[in-house]
Structure 1
Amino acid sequence: MARTGRAVIAHGQTFEVREYPVPDPEPGTILLRQELSGICGTDLHNWQKGIPGEMLLGHENVGIIEALGQQVKTDYVGRPLREGDRVIFAPGTPHGAYGFQRDPDRPPHFRGGFADYIYLCYPDTCVLKTDLPPEIAVLTEPFTVGVHAVMRGRVQLGDTVVVQGSGAIGLVTLVCARLSGAAKIIMVGGPARRLELARRMGADVTINIEEIPSVEERTERVLAETPRGAGADVVFECAGFLPAIPEGLGFVRHSGTFVEVGHFVDMGSLDFNPNQLLMRRNLRLEAIWGSRPEHFVRGLPLLERNEFPFAEMVSHILPLERVADGFAALNGTYRLGDETAIKIAVRGGQAG
């Protein structure tokens, strides 16, 4: 009898666990036992809008090689691969994306991380071997977004930086800015538990939006922490909420840089005055679209140095059947039970 594995299928705002046959890897492919898959803000935003049709989500993944297809000998940078190796992979490829699998009932199955297995079947998938524990390795994909954002923002030694949003993307962008030489980093976000971790990861100043709900007062607080009160050299919008954009533009100094990171999903439009917020201040406006294999190759060795409390970012690990609880927490109070949710990951029950 053929092996089967479970996958969580999203439709609208509901989730259903289904069983599928586990494929034997074709030449050039890899079958992984899923260890952890993070719930990303992109997943949340898609779910908030209502998933059209059916989709297997989960693009922040780490797994153990269950079986290698013929011709697979090395990872993306040339290191030998064997069954039992732990690997991470870039979800985007020239031929498709893992974690956004539509029509999941049609083979090949398991092209997303909210499942017991992950089938790396797209040609040119960037796979990298790692010895990191899974609780840190699962952060690789979001970490590469921070790498991409800071590279595009051109953070320089001695810069003053503001990061809006204290979720996983904001925290890793904070770390990447620190590694790139930022002298002072101001984190604007919440709740308090996330900001406490932000300070331990290198934030010099934290501003809690729950305690200071006024945009005007937050702006005054941010500007007061910048040289001569003139604003930050670089501001990263990682919150993914439309009102954060005009607010963040108000944090930037004349001729500074604003980098949009948080709107991978279309969450609508907003009105703002380009003359006042952009032109008169001579700003450089950047935006990034996820990350590419280059950012995985650059970012993974930095993550592997483990110089920051990365493991504490994964606040909750849920079984597959509790995926809905994770989405509900991130959609509301950012709390599961009595604990603040930072990064929520899903574990496949057969990946042990």
Structure 2
Amino acid sequence: MSDDLPTSMRAVVCHGPEDYRLEELPVPRPGPGEVLVRVPAVGICASDLKCYTGAPMFWGDEHRVGYCQPPVVPGHEFVGYVVALGEGAGEKYGLQVGGLAVSEQIVPCWRCRFCRRGQYWMCQQHDVYGFRQRTFGAMAEYMLWPADAINHKVPPDVPPHHAAFIEPLACAIHAVDRGEIKFEDVVVIAGAGPLGLGMVAAARMRNPRLLVVVDLEDRRLEVARRCGADLTLNPSKVDVVEEVLGLTEGYGCDVYIEATGHPAAVEQGLRMIRKLGTFVEFSVMREPVTVDWTIIGDTKELNIHGAHLGPYCYPIAIDMIRKGRLPLDEIVTHRLPLEDFHRGIEIMMSREHSIKVVLEPNA
């Protein structure tokens, strides 16, 4: 390990809802199997916003203990330059000091039922970077990847602010996989935010008969077309349910993927999907959603699939980004220094003229 590493670093620290502070923390030193990286880019995710604003999933309610374990450094959409390797860490994933790399967002325990079955993304312990004490995130100048982490090399010609999109793209690919899209399917993706746009690019590679994207912002819909959408619809301008029914002889779409995080998009999907269709729910909802479950069961007999994280999808995401499958210079709309993290959160929350906001801790 280099003796040139600093002893302290700047980091954003989450102490509670709307209580995020820029602080000085010690620079971690890697132990056996661990990797220390210098962080050039970290994205702000919709789940970061929900944690910041106090969503029950992260802070608990009468039904559950909150997922977030403050004080913790947020940030799970990231890439890093390897600066130090603990004993044995380089051999496992072929990492070298100076190389660009990414670590999958969940660090599995490798002991629970799910991990033993290869379903590591549903690990019972479930330590995702940026929320848990074992897995401090990337909104810092340096970041430590535990020995149990799953790491991948990133081609050196991929710009770091593009590579920070690997994580959301991997999640998007997994959601599309859960949709089980067939060649003749009409597919509707609700939401043209960063994840929705990744889903559009991934779904395009499945060659559905018609790929429709729904969003309230025309600018995002323009980007969706460049990601591969055949048709875009704005619910503030047209009745999107009637439009989809009209396109499908009244049957409805075959696959509906919800990526907005808004309850109205769930009801909209249940109304526009055909009988025996597949509904994929991806979003982290800020509040509980109430729908008519009769539609799911007795009326349409739907396949309801959840989608969580991006298991086994990181190599595909890296390859898609390297090949330019997405217009990332249009998707990454803002690049800010770490100290402007509050402004970055505000930009993401307002959605005005933004899609993906990336912080650059070492700019």
Structure 1 residues 183 and 36: CA distance shift in structure 2, 3 A: same
- Return 160-169 or 183-192, whichever deviates more: 183-192
Distance 1:35 1:252 in 2: 42
Pick the aligned partner of 1:273 from 286, 292, 295: 292
Q: Residues 238-257 of structure 1: matches in 2 within 5 Å?
A: 238-257=259-278
Q: Residues 288-307 of structure 1: matches in 2 within 5 Å?
A: 288-292=307-311, 294-307=312-325
Distance 1:192 1:258 in 2: 24
Could you list the runs of 5+ residues in structure 1 that have no partner in the other structure? 103-107
Q: Is the 8 A contact 2:279 2:304 kept in 1?
A: yes
| Letter paired with 2:84 | A
Partner of 1:57: 74
Pick the aligned partner of 1:311 from 325, 329, 338: 329
| Letter paired with 1:113 | A
Structure 1 residue 239: deviation in Å? Answer: 0.3
- Return 167-176 or 319-328, whichever deviates more: 319-328
Partner of 1:127: 151
Partner of 1:343: 356
Structure 1 residues 45 and 152: CA distance shift in structure 2, 3 A: same
Partner of 2:132: 101
- Return 132-141 or 28-37, whichever deviates more: 132-141
Aligned-partner SS, 1:147: helix
Partner of 1:87: 101
Once the two structures are superposed, residues 115-159 of structure 1 have per-residue CA deviations (whole angstroms, 9 ceiling, x without a partner) of 111111x23211111122212211111111111111111011132
Distance 2:6 2:289 in 1: 52
Partner of 1:4: 8
Q: Does 1:19 align with 2:44?
A: no
Structure 1 residue 209: deviation in Å? Answer: 3.4
- Return 170-179 or 180-189, whichever deviates more: 180-189
Structure 1 residues 35 and 190: CA distance shift in structure 2, 3 A: farther
Structure 1 residue 2: deviation in Å? Answer: 5.5
| Letter paired with 1:93 | V
Q: Is the 8 A contact 1:162 1:235 kept in 2?
A: yes
Distance 1:92 1:223 in 2: 39
Distance 2:295 2:38 in 1: 52
Distance 1:91 1:111 in 2: 11
Distance 1:291 1:177 in 2: 15
Distance 2:82 2:33 in 1: 13
Distance 1:187 1:134 in 2: 28
Could you list the runs of 5+ residues in structure 2 that have no partner in the other structure? 60-69, 110-126
Q: How many residues are matched? A: 327
Aligned-partner SS, 1:70: coil
Structure 1 residues 2 and 135: CA distance shift in structure 2, 3 A: closer
Once the two structures are superposed, residues 55-88 of structure 1 have per-residue CA deviations (whole angstroms, 9 ceiling, x without a partner) of 3210001110111112122454xxx321110011
Distance 1:230 1:115 in 2: 50
Q: Percent identity?
A: 30
| Letter paired with 2:324 | N
| Letter paired with 2:79 | V
Distance 1:302 1:75 in 2: 24
| Letter paired with 1:97 | V
Distance 1:278 1:44 in 2: 33
| Letter paired with 1:228 | E
| TM-score, length-scaled by structure 2 | 0.84
- State the Cα RMSD in Å: 2.0
Q: Is the 8 A contact 2:295 2:301 kept in 1?
A: no
